[in-house]
């Protein structure tokens, strides 16, 4: 393997939800490593602004609830660049209002549940379906953004977490069914990541509670997740498929209550 296998030179990468947070950090990193990036987002102005900053990048409007919009994204990519090497399914139904409404199942609004699955699961499936014939041609790959909440139970975000669990199984299914066609499919599961949307949605006391359970000295930043995505998208990860890379600062790797144990053994209690 070439020593520069982590590079993305000559590759065309679609990043959904690419206008902000993890998506924009990933688009920037992929462009820095040589990829030509398609920034797809429902926030058209922000996507266009970012594309203007990155060499060779284009912005394409995307509404994951609309099948025609998703198919138009892949078609536009092929028309403009002539190929597709990486599909990073990063977009999801998020935001402060959504986070507050997405609680436990007993109090779940059916409309919110349906919309979450329409965007996070159905939209991701359609994007994969549209991309796969072209990824076969380039022996390309898919990287899905999921969440550590898809692997753990929580008091809140029942719709979001279960939808991301569905995307994990979709990841495995695609890896199994298309591996011999040269297509890899993996997922990255971030923990709480300090995006602008998270800062707005979660009060400091809850962010601190998660940070206390993290095995680093801080919560992750979008750039940390971008590094994981770009690695999986590169030829350096050519032997990795059907996997979920948990990038949560070690939060899910230990026994419950580690913050209290840490305080006890340090003499703080």
> What pLDDT is recorded for position 94?
84
Alpha-carbon distance 213 to 187, whole Å?
23
Per-residue pLDDT tens over the stretch 168-208: 999 999 999 999 999 999 999 998 877 777 777 777 888 88
* Range of lowest pLDDT (65-69, 136-140, 154-158): 154-158
Alpha-carbon distance 33 to 226, whole Å?
12
Give the SS3 label for residue 24: helix
pLDDT at position 148 over 80? yes
Per-residue pLDDT tens over the stretch 53-72: 999 999 999 999 999 999 99
**Residue 260 pLDDT class (50, 70, 90 cuts):** confident
Mean pLDDT over all residues of the chain?
93
Alpha-carbon distance 210 to 4, whole Å?
36
Is 151 in contact with 235 (CB distance < 8 Å)?
no
pLDDT at position 267 over 90? no
Backbone dihedral region for residue 194 (phi beyond 0: left; psi -120 to 50: alpha; all else: beta): beta
pLDDT at position 226 over 80? yes
Tell me which residue of 158, 133, 130 sits closest to 62, measured CA to CA: 130
> What pLDDT is recorded for position 143?
98
Residues sharing a CB contact under 8 Å with residue 264, sequence separation 6 or more, in sequence order: none
**Residue 95 pLDDT class (50, 70, 90 cuts):** confident
- Percent of the chain whose pLDDT exceeds 90: 73
> What pLDDT is recorded for position 268?
64
Domains of the chain: 12-265 (3.40.50.720)
Identify the active-site residue in 38, 42, 57, 160.
Answer: 160
Model pTM score: 0.93
Provide Rg for the chain, Cα atoms: 18
> What pLDDT is recorded for position 134?
98
> What pLDDT is recorded for position 22?
95
Is residue 160 part of the annotated active site? The answer reads yes
Alpha-carbon distance 52 to 49, whole Å?
5
> What pLDDT is recorded for position 2?
55
Alpha-carbon distance 130 to 124, whole Å?
10
Is 171 in contact with 186 (CB distance < 8 Å)?
yes
């Amino acid at each position: 393997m070439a020593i520069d296998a982590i590079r993305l030179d000559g590759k065309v990468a679609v990043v959904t939800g690419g206008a902000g947070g993890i998506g924009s950090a990933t688009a920037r990193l992929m462009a820095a490593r040589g990829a030509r990036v398609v920034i797809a987002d429902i926030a058209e102005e922000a996507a266009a602004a970012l594309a203007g900053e990155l060499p060779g990048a284009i912005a394409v409007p995307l509404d994951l609830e609309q099948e025609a919009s998703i198919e138009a994204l892949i078609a536009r990519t092929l028309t403009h660049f002539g190929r597709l090497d990486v599909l990073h399914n990063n977009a999801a139904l998020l935001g402060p209002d959504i986070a507050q409404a997405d609680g436990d199942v007993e109090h779940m609004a059916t409309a919110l549940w349906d919309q979450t699955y329409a965007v996070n699961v159905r939209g991701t499936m359609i994007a994969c379906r549209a991309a796969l014939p072209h990824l076969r041609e380039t022996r390309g790959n898919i990287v899905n953004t999921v969440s550590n909440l898809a692997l753990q139970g929580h008091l809140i975000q029942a719709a979001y977490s279960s939808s991301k669990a569905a995307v994990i199984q979709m990841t495995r299914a695609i890896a199994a069914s298309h591996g011999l066609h040269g297509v890899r499919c993996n997922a990255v599961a971030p923990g709480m990541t300090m995006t602008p949307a998270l800062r707005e949605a979660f009060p400091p006391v809850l962010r601190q509670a998660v940070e206390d359970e993290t095995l680093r000295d801080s919560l992750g930043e979008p750039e940390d997740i971008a590094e994981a995505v770009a690695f999986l998208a590169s030829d350096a990860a050519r032997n990795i498929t059907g996997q979920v890379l948990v990038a949560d600062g070690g939060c899910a790797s230990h026994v419950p209550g580690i913050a209290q144990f840490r305080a006890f053994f340090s003499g703080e209690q």
